[in-house]
Structures are given as C-alpha cells and as structure tokens.
Amino acid sequence: MHRRLFSQALMGLGGLATAGSALPLAAQTVSAPTAGAFREGTHYRRLRQPAPVDAPAGRIEVLEFFAYTCIHCYNFVPVFKAWKQTVPADVLVRHVPVGFTPDFEPLQRLYYTLEAMGRLDSHHERVFQAVHGPQRQRLHNAEAIAQWAASAGLDRAQFTQTYNSFAVVGRVRRATQLQDAYQVEGTPALGIAGRFYIPGQAQRTVQIADALIARVRAGQGRS
C-alpha cells in the first residue's frame, strides 16, 4: 500500500485507524513454515542499498517499525514481546516509531521521550492501551500527550522539557531516516541487520526474522 496515500486517509479518520500493513495481520494460529519456505520477494525483501545500522560490531540489529495508532501494531505487541525474550545475546532489538507524514511526529516524540526518561518498560504498552482501549484517546498533539503523561503518573514539567529537547527531535529525525532507508510501506514491519525488510505477517513475522538472523550470523546475508 502506498504509504503517503494511506497516511492521508489515516489522519482523515482521526488517527485511530491502522498505520498500514503491507501484509495484514492474520490470525495468531499461522502454521509455522520451514525456513526454506520463506521466499525472497514474497515473505521478505532484500534491500538494494544497505540501511544504516547502529548496533556495535558483533551484534545483529533488529528494528520493529511501528505506530501507536496502528491496530495491527497493538495486536503484534504480545507476539513481539514474547519473541524478544527468546533472542540470543548477539541480537539487539530496537523499536522505531514511523513518521509517514508530519502528523505522526507527536507520537514519535512521545516514544523517544519515554525512552529518554527511562519509562519505556512501564509506559510503552500504556500508550497503545490509551489509543486503542475503551477510552480511545486522541494523542494527536503536544498538549494532549502532556495531559496523558501527567495522568499516567509522569512529571509533566520533566516530560514536556524532554519532549521538546534537541535530543528527542534528533531521535525522531533518525527514525524517519531509518524508515526511508528500509523503504517501510506499512506497520508493523521488521528490519534485519540493515539488509532485509519483513512486512507484518503476524506470528510468521518473527519466524522469518529468526531465519534471516541465522542467515546473517552465518554470513549469508551479504549481496
């Protein structure tokens, strides 16, 4: 799906639709294909130009591209969370909030503000709950987000100062650069070692990730 056209439709719906999914999430009971069944161009794609990698030497970087407004990302949280607990020590997992249009920036800043404050473990999933839970909160600008932060037990003054900091703005800029380098078309999606892109496919997404991580580790991911 063309991300610009989709994002315009998303914001027209008040930001509570999904942020897109190149392959919509299926039921969580997907049968696990063997590694040989994962086909380049069907289940994943190799990047023509390598994407930047921030992981230190000897670590395999996995990026999860997501948007807090994406219902598929919300549904993917337990799958990805469980998978992260199983990855070997040489795998470094990061979350990257996408910015398909300028309207995404407030929530990108929210993510990196929580990261800077050391509150991702306690509040990352709470943002998803705020957006997709019964209250359906519209965290669409700085004021709405600051109000939510205060209601979630964060110091509003500290939160606002961090939210407006150059460090957070820089992190948002970097996230958008990574999104463009991986040519992210929808969310959720995974980037593997600056070499591979996996569109969201529910449980199968992390199975493909495992296969590609093994491939990178074996030195087979280079073009």
pLDDT digits (tens, 9 = 90+) for 43-84: 999 999 999 999 999 999 999 999 999 999 999 999 999 999
The percent of residues above 70 in pLDDT, for the chain, comes to 82
The whole-angstrom separation of Cα 50 and Cα 73 is: 25
- pLDDT computed for residue 37 by the predictor: 74
Q: What is the pLDDT of residues 185-212, one digit of tens each?
A: 999 999 999 999 999 999 999 999 999 9
Q: Among 3.40.50.620, 3.30.390.30, 3.90.1300.10, 3.40.30.10, name the CATH number for the domain at 3-25+38-217.
A: 3.40.30.10
Least confident stretch, 16-25, 32-41, 110-119: 16-25
Give the whole-angstrom CA distance, residue 20 versus residue 7: 8
Tell me the C-alpha distance between 220 and 34, whole Å: 18
State residue 15's pLDDT score.
Answer: 41
Q: How many angstroms separate the CA atoms of 20 and 17, rounded? A: 8
Q: Residue 41, by phi and psi: left (phi above 0), alpha (psi -120 to 50) or beta?
A: left
Per-residue model confidence as pLDDT tens digits over 129-168: 999 999 999 999 999 999 999 999 999 999 999 999 999 9
pTM of the model: 0.85
pLDDT over 90 percentage in the chain: 79
Kindly tell me if the per-residue pLDDT of 4 is higher than 90. Answer: no
Asked if the model's pLDDT at residue 10 lies above 90, the reply is no
Per the CB < 8 A criterion, the answer to whether 185 and 199 are in contact is: yes
Total number of residues shown for the chain: 223
Band of residue 171 on the pLDDT scale cut at 50, 70, 90:
very high
pLDDT at 11 over 60: no
Beta carbons of 17 and 69 less than 8 angstroms apart: yes
Residue 157's alpha-carbon distances to 105, 132, 144, 162, in angstroms, are 20, 26, 14, 9
